[in-house]
Structure 1
């Protein structure tokens, strides 16, 4: 006896919804991820192409590569810096303060000087730079 076989359609898996879900997950993770951009910045300080020369000011604070300070013509230690700058604060408020920091100076030494100038009410602070030898417009 022969039994009639029913003809079955082949089973197909529709991949379109799966691809849509994968793309949505990819977009979600791309939008919600934070990227670390600090590694892309390579700075060489101090150079300035568009900096303008400033008029001479009577108060100049020099920060050396090893963190030593020189206010005017006098060498000053880190502990004596607040007293020495306080003595010349009136002159610095009137004419401004120029910071001449070495390119290899520690950032903490420069921030300490800026913070001290701010606490003494010196609002006109300029950072001296040298003119750049080559024009670099590589700002990402």
Structure 2
């Protein structure tokens, strides 16, 4: 005797809800993620009308109004500056060094960085400035000495 088998529908996995959930998660993480390249410092850069825009350098020394230095994410005292700059000297010789000095920083602090750069053989040193306030926009500029 022959029994008839019940017909089964083919099993299908519906991927539409899975794709919807993945896109929602992607959008959530894109919106909620913050992109910070470095910590913000309250710097008042000097103004310049003859500066030209420069590419971003991987080696940047920031001089605060109080005379402290920042190289990358490290805060440095004046005594620590030579050793820290020596560690970054090879990259600075290749790509250049940018000095971002606060407008209220002492001249001696800036000269100390320039002197250390000269001792390390770094020849491409740029000083970051902003456009003169008479212009419509204010964007970072760099002068090549």
TM over 0.5: yes
Partners in 1 of 2:111 and 2:123 — Cα distance? 14
Cα deviation for residue 86 of structure 1 reads: 0.1
Q: Runs of 5+ in structure 1 lacking a partner?
A: 1-44, 136-140
Report the CA distance between 1:113 and its aligned residue: 0.5
Q: What's 2:48 paired with?
A: 48
Q: Greater strand percent: which structure? A: 2
Residue in 1 that maps onto 2:118: 118
Distance in 2 (CA, whole Å) between partners of 1:130 and 1:72 is 21
Residue 107 of structure 1 corresponds to which residue in structure 2?
A: 107
TM-score if structure 2 supplies the norm length? 0.61
| TM superposition score normalised by structure 1 | 0.63
Secondary structure of the structure 2 residue equivalent to 1:134: coil
Runs of 4+ in 1 over 6 A off after TM superposition: none
| Higher gyration radius (CA) | 1
Unaligned segments of structure 2, at least 5 residues: 1-44, 136-145
How many angstroms does 1:53 deviate by? 1.2
SS of alignment partner, residue 85 of structure 2: helix
> How far has the Cα of 1:46 moved from its partner?
1.2
Structure 2 Cα separation of the partners of residues 75 and 54 of structure 1: 24
Aligned residues: 91
Q: CA RMSD in A?
A: 1.2
